């Protein structure tokens, strides 16, 4: 394998980059409500991509489970979806405090 090929990122991470860039362009024309969904779905995809690339984190894994359980709320119950995002944000803050040295 050529030396330059060794420096490529894991395929799953490259896929994530493709998702983000194409998603950004799509959102220019798509309904505004798609934006939060793309970001939360993107969060889940990033966690999965990192895990497949050998970078795992138990907290992130639990976060992804909650996102996967609740992300269809974006379509079915906007208020509940917003509530889910608010809960996840506060849990991130709690985890930040726990990880302080």
| Nearest CB to another protein, comparing residues 11 and 55 | 55
For the bound state, the minimum distance from the C-beta of residue 18 to another protein, rounded and expressed in Å, comes to 22
For the bound state, the minimum distance from the C-beta of residue 96 to another protein, rounded and expressed in Å, comes to 5
Site of interaction with another protein (CB under 8 A)? 86, 89-90, 92-94, 96-97, 100-101
Q: What Rg do the C-alpha atoms of the chain give, in angstroms?
A: 16
For the bound state, the minimum distance from the C-beta of residue 93 to another protein, rounded and expressed in Å, comes to 4
Structure tokens given for 44: 């889940």
Q: Using alpha carbons, list the distances in angstroms from residue 57 to 19, 30, 34, 61, 66.
A: 22, 33, 27, 6, 15
């Amino acid at each position: 394998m050529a030396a330059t090929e060794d420096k490529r990122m894991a395929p799953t991470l490259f896929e994530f980059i493709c998702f983000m860039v194409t998603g950004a362009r799509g959102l220019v024309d798509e309904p505004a409500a798609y934006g939060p969904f793309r970001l939360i779905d993107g969060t889940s995809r990033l966690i999965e991509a990192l895990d497949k690339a050998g970078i795992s984190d138990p907290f992130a894994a639990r976060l992804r489970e909650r996102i996967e359980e609740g992300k269809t709320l974006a379509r079915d119950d906007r208020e509940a979806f917003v509530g889910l995002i608010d809960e996840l944000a506060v849990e991130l803050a709690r985890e930040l405090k726990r990880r302080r040295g």
